[in-house]
Amino acid sequence: MPSTRFPSPHIAVVGSLNMDLVLRVSRCPAPGETLLGHDFAQHPGGKGANQAVACARLGAQVRMIGKLGNDAFAAPLRATLDAAGVDHRHVSTDTGASGIAMIVVEDNGQNRIMLAPGANGALTQADVRLAADDIHSAALLLCQLEVPTDCVRIAFAEARGAGVPILFNPAPAIPLDSDLLAVDYLVVNETEAALISGLPVTTRAEAMAAARRLLRGGAGAILLTLGADGALIADTNGVRHYPAQPAQVVDTTAAGDTFIGGMAAGLLEGMVIDDAVQLGMRAAALCIGRPGAQPSIPFRHELDDLTPGDPKPDTTRKS
């Protein structure tokens, strides 16, 4: 099982920065249908920036590595990082547009997200190498897949060379080589787990089977989020399930990123993985009760009234 005692005080995040354009509707339209929405908002987002902000608001020092465009969205996206205390000296500027996400949120809180990568797609291996010192000196590296995969590979190589643990959230889900999955912490939802493991993930028992298969792929620990059914942990201590915190769902955007931020902040403090996961779950429960991506991410002091749940050990046959 990976160590959770880290010698260095910051988390390095290599990832995306997007401006989210959010439309709320009663339901998603059918093909060819025009549907009248009832609210529109613009919020800072992007999986990389969301996770960086979540880590910072939940107690960690954070250094962000990414790319913004030369447009009207760049300044407010940087300002949000500043407000959270995220160091963005290695967020460079491209000549084109910043990344955007078109998000449709139904009244039941479910969302559908479409991305235009913009400057995120222009991040290069050279950009990551310029920030190598921030990775080498980190306690933990966080990566996702809203930037080019070759940038993720370089970030992994820099981290592994310096002995820095890696937390990888392979989203949006794509088929991946085994070397990208052999990380210290692999965090996936049901869709990502099904694609990467090749197994169905429609029940908790199926999720447990998928987590075991992913664990055999070389990761130190698998964290599989199950939405309203909570989350699974699979590591050398077995598979266990934690129920979700009770929550009123307003908007699920950034819930997974908030979970990761809470978990990463907990690991940075030296928590065992089960406690860190529960910290992430409590943060995600607050996140989904609020609209927007980064605006919905809670601060650490807001979690004081939410108590951890009890683990539910896996009692199914190991295979």
CA distance to 21, 71, 177, 204, 300, per residue, from 77 (Å): 13, 11, 32, 38, 22
Q: Is 70 annotated as a binding residue?
A: no
The pLDDT score that the predictor gives to residue 317 is: 33
Cβ atoms of 51 and 257 closer than 8 Å = yes
Q: Is 225 annotated as a binding residue?
A: yes
Q: Is 49 annotated as a binding residue?
A: yes
Beta-sheet pairing, 221-225 with 61-68: unpaired
Helices (H) and strands (E) in the chain, counts: 10, 14
Query: 266-283 burial, b if ≥16 CB within 10 A, otherwise e?
Result: bbbbebebbbbbbbbbbb
Domain boundaries, the chain: 10-17+45-99+119-313
pTM above 0.85, yes or no: yes
The pLDDT score that the predictor gives to residue 107 is: 87
Residues annotated as catalytic are 257
CATH fold label, 10-17+45-99+119-313 = UDP-N-acetylmuramoyl-L-alanine:D-glutamate ligase (3.40.1190)
CA distance to 181, 283, 301, per residue, from 305 (Å): 35, 11, 9
Three-class DSSP category at 171: coil
What is the distance, to the nearest Å, from the Cα of residue 267 to the centroid of all Cα atoms in its chain?
15
For residue 91, which of 116, 115, 69 has the smallest C-alpha distance? 69
DSSP state of 244: P
Q: Is 19 annotated as a binding residue?
A: yes
Beta-carbon contacts of residue 157 (< 8 Å; ≥ 6 apart): none
Regions in the chain scoring below 70 on pLDDT = 1-8, 305-319
The pLDDT score that the predictor gives to residue 202 is: 95
The pLDDT score that the predictor gives to residue 4 is: 47
Q: Is 238 annotated as a binding residue?
A: no
The pLDDT score that the predictor gives to residue 193 is: 96
